[in-house]
Amino acid sequence: MYTSGLNAYVGGKWFQCSAFLEKAIQERKSYKTVIVDCRLRCRSNSVLSDFFIPADLNTSVDALRLNFFENLVKESHCLKTCKTEKLGYQISENRVLLEVEEDFDNLKPYSYLQFCYYKLERYTDAACAAYTYFLRNPGDEDTVANIHSYRHDFKVKDEDFKDLEKNLIRIKGENAYDQDDWTNAIELIELAITEYYKEEERCRVECEGHFDHQSFPDFIQAIADHYISVLQCQFKCERKLSILYKDYLPDFVGQHYNFLQFAYHQNGNNDKAVECAGTYLLFNPHDEEMLRNKAFYMQKLGYHEAHFVPRQMNSTKSKPEKLTKKHYMAIYEKIGIKVKEEKMTDLLLMIFTDKTNVENLQILQICLYPMAMSSDDIHSFPSSLSMQSSILEWEISLLWSVY
């Protein structure tokens, strides 16, 4: 469909161009939705079991290794079945060209689409397409000139320039906040937080696609190389989702709770305000303004330290990744793993954020390196092992940094 749109663009067939490109953009969104939904569904059904463990396997090392790979096979089969059911065999097995993937990732179809709209004299639609492309590519001078032209030469109103890729609930919430509409501000910003966590999870899962090894690696190397590429992609999700208009906001998630703290207070719900203050301090523990607010709630309104409990949120989605290299080195040392400091790259600075992950590291060390420690060193096992989430989040540290 995308190729047909480009052919129509080159041939000056503007109606066909717009129709094909619109369809291509929609089909890709639908395709990505199906793929991510399948991965999430198969992950939710992926658990450890002892159903296929032979009776003579009496060591936790062998049992866990068998469970690990059994689980991968089950999840893989689930994914293939799900994609075939939703997309059909030919589509589910089709590999999109890298160049096409890059075009869509950079929103290039909107650049072509805006010109097709322009030729059809659909100037508002053209302005939206150009604006959408600009937000991802703010340095494109031709697009900047086009936006200027739509605004001044074709009188497209500023409020009619819309981002066709995002539903900016956060912006609507901020607008309500600026207008002292506290009830709507609370509703919209709470919704924006929920949507962010959903999109962050889907973004991470979306990263788990195919990988071109460009060589013939052995088994362990293939797994490591693929996972490193997944991890690199996943680390970009937070930044990707923390952009308003064209600007990256470093404390995007945390600021939601800053807005909510004040909005709840202004709306008379100080219990919620205190909860949001505690949550914001989880992200920014030394923020002087919020610490002053905390002192106000305690001194003037009778709240205590115990009231500033952060919201209970899934740590993989919400916990601030603030640990420094020194903290990671200390964690590794505590579990007896020697790490070369120069190998501690920025990628590793985001892996371990809680006790569970430290335990998971020990488990994977047994799975892949059974001579590293005896089974007596393991005291507990997690209830679920998903290849794309937990398992692979242990592996990179071992493959890169264990010696």
> How far apart are the C-alpha atoms of 356 and 381, rounded to whole Å?
9
Q: Is 397 exposed, middle or buried (0-12, 13-18, 19+ CB in 10 A)?
A: buried
Task: Give the H or E element holding residue 220.
Answer: helix 219-235
47 versus 183: the higher-pLDDT residue is 183
Break the chain down into helix, strand, coil percent, rounded to 5: 70, 0, 30
**Per-residue confidence band for 60, with pLDDT thresholds at 50, 70 and 90:** low
184 versus 379: the higher-pLDDT residue is 184
The pLDDT, as a whole number, for residue 89 is 59
Average the pLDDT over each of 120-124, 129-133, 141-145, 330-334 and give the range with the smallest value.
Answer: 330-334
56 versus 80: the higher-pLDDT residue is 80
The pLDDT, as a whole number, for residue 248 is 87
**Token pair belonging to 280:** 């914001």
> Phi first, then psi: what are they for 248, rounded to 5°?
-85, 130
Mean pLDDT calculated for residue range 2-12: 91
Nearest Cα to Cα of residue 251 among 291, 283, 209, 287: 283
Helix (H, G, I), strand (E, B) or coil at 286: coil
Q: Is the pLDDT of residue 297 over 90?
A: yes
Residue/partner pairs of 4-8 with CB below 8 Å, 24 or more apart: 5/109, 5/112, 6/112, 8/116
The pLDDT, as a whole number, for residue 258 is 95
The single residue listed with the structure tokens 């362990």 is 220
The pLDDT, as a whole number, for residue 227 is 77
54-83 burial code (b ≥16 CB/10 A, e <16): eeebeebbebbbebbebbbebbeebbeebb
Query: CA torsion 158→262→243→171, rounded to 10°?
Result: -30
The pLDDT, as a whole number, for residue 355 is 37
pLDDT per position as a tens digit, 202-261: 998 988 887 766 677 787 778 777 877 887 788 788 888 888 887 888 889 999 999 999
> How far apart are the C-alpha atoms of 195 and 167, rounded to whole Å?
10
The pLDDT, as a whole number, for residue 402 is 36
The pLDDT, as a whole number, for residue 323 is 35
> How far apart are the C-alpha atoms of 23 and 18, rounded to whole Å?
8
Domain ranges of the chain: 2-46+65-104, 106-160, 166-319, 325-401
> How far apart are the C-alpha atoms of 186 and 180, rounded to whole Å?
11
Query: Do 204 and 314 meet the contact criterion of CB atoms below 8 Å apart?
Result: no
pLDDT per position as a tens digit, 75-108: 888 998 998 888 875 554 455 667 788 888 889 9
The pLDDT, as a whole number, for residue 359 is 42
**Per-residue confidence band for 12, with pLDDT thresholds at 50, 70 and 90:** very high
**Per-residue confidence band for 132, with pLDDT thresholds at 50, 70 and 90:** very high
pLDDT per position as a tens digit, 317-362: 444 343 334 444 454 455 454 544 444 433 343 343 333 444 444 4
User: What mean pLDDT value characterizes the chain?
Assistant: 76
Name the residue type at position 56.
D
Helix (H, G, I), strand (E, B) or coil at 244: strand
> Of 46-55, 228-237, 384-393, which one has max mean pLDDT?
228-237
Q: Crossing angle of helices 288-300/270-283, nearest 10°? A: 150
